[in-house]
Homo-oligomer: A and B are copies of this chain.
Amino acid sequence: MSESKIDTRLWSSKARNLSPYVPGEQPQHDNLCKLNTNENPFPPSPKVGEAIAKVLTQQAEELRLYPAPESNDLRAALAQSYELDINQVFVGNGSDEVLALIFASFFLKERPLLSPDISYSFYPVYAQTFGVHLVKIPLEEDFSIDPDAYRQPCSGIIIANPNAPTGLLLSLADIRKLASEHSNAVIVIDEAYIDFSQRASETQVSAVSLINECDNIIVTQTFSKSRSLAGLRVGMAFANASLIEALTRMKNSFNSYPLDKLAQAGATASVLDVDYFEQTRQQVIDLRTSLTEALIALGYDVLPSHANFVFVRPKDGDASGVASALREQGIIVRHFDKPRINEYLRITVGTAEQNSHLIEALTVLHADNSVTSD
């Protein structure tokens, strides 16, 4: 709706002052090489479709009934998979909803919430939505996070790990340090991309392993990335039972049944298909490695990514120009027109074909450019 036609007379001042989150473009047509919203290049486990089809054929009639309000089967499957108790697990309508409920439950306090200046751009939006005072802590020059920079009174700290859009990973030692130095604050580790960490199969990288040790850590994860289910809208949080209880109450003060019957069935099947999960996440990691090498060969600076995207800087820093040129060829990548990162592009790791297509396009583009600038 064009701004001039909007009549805000009946809106609350909160509604008037919102600056909503702008998700990456979701063109609803084909023929595009879509590397802009970090979706998984692989389809979800076939077990997901089977489980949903089973509900449709054997229990279609049951769609008339409300779903399980606390998604107990799904939470039980997650608890078993992550070796937690079911009351340490919360699920919601995508990790975005889970994060919103976290903001509403823990950060509406005198002390501010701390977050890196460059991170998931929904955090400042939530802060505005819920009236939370957010203080941004600058990343280091190399985009890494220095835990010592967070030494100030706060209601909480929220960090995407791996961070978005940089893809850099904070160590478990640093997370433990943050949690113990801020024992009166809630430390949210947003692990949307953690399953793609290079070291995921070798060493423990997820802060889920700290839940029983640190009662003030909440870890959020999502089915949208490593489980290829962005279309199903399921996210989760892991924490000690008292923090999960707060989220549950907040949920039941907002929307009692956020997960529909089919999403619950599909997500549960996804959790149970461990082999498929391990196999596809390793494939994405391998594809990232080859994409990284190809980009470096083209002269790009590529940050060491632990996610299913790479954060890269073209030699001349004209990220915006590269994004536009790719767009003309039907390849969409994400450019953030923001201080410090406007010379970078965030490129989702695609299929082998998509990555080749991208590299070919960039090869031609930079060959042309170098001819022009000679």
Residues of chain A touching chain B, judged by Cβ–Cβ distance below 8 Å, are: 1, 5-15, 18-23, 26, 28, 34, 37, 39-44, 46, 48-49, 52-53, 56-57, 60-69, 72, 87, 93-94, 96-97, 100, 104-109, 125-126, 128-129, 155, 184-186, 215-216, 224, 228-233, 241-243, 245-246, 248-263, 266
Contact = CB atoms under 8 A, between A and B. Distances in A.
B233 A258 contact: yes
A220 to B, nearest CB: 13
A301 B73 CA distance: 41
B1 A87 contact: yes
Contacts of A242: 1, 5-10
Contacts of A106: 10-12, 15
A252 B48 contact: no
B256 A21 contact: yes
Number of copies: 2
Contact of A64 (B39, B61, B255, B266): B39
A245 B96 contact: no
A253 B40 contact: no
A68 B330 CA distance: 19
Contacts of A253: 18-21, 125-126, 128-129
Contacts of A129: 104, 250, 253-254
Contacts of A5: 241-242
A97 B67 contact: no
A263 B231 CA distance: 10
A56 B94 CA distance: 20
B257 A233 contact: yes
Contact of A7 (B104, B215, B230): B215
A17 to B, nearest CB: 10
Contacts of A56: 49, 52-53, 56
Given A10-B216, A56-B53, A105-B15, A23 B94 contact: no
A232 B15 contact: no
B263 A260 contact: yes
Contacts of A49: 56-57, 60, 63
A108 B39 contact: no
A285 to B, nearest CB: 17
B63 A255 contact: no
6 contacts: A6-B242, A10-B106, A20-B250, A43-B63, A100-B254, A104-B129
A253 B11 CA distance: 15
Contacts of A23: 66, 69, 256-257
A79 to B, nearest CB: 14
B64 A229 contact: yes
Contacts of A105: 11-12, 14-15
Contacts of A40: 64
A15 B64 contact: no
Contact of A263 (B7, B53, B262): B262
Given A129-B253, A241-B5, A230 B60 contact: no
Contacts of A216: 10
B66 A44 contact: no
Contacts of A96: 254-257
A233 B126 CA distance: 23
A117 to B, nearest CB: 20
Given A8-B242, A53-B56, A262-B262, A68 B255 contact: no
A318 B69 CA distance: 30
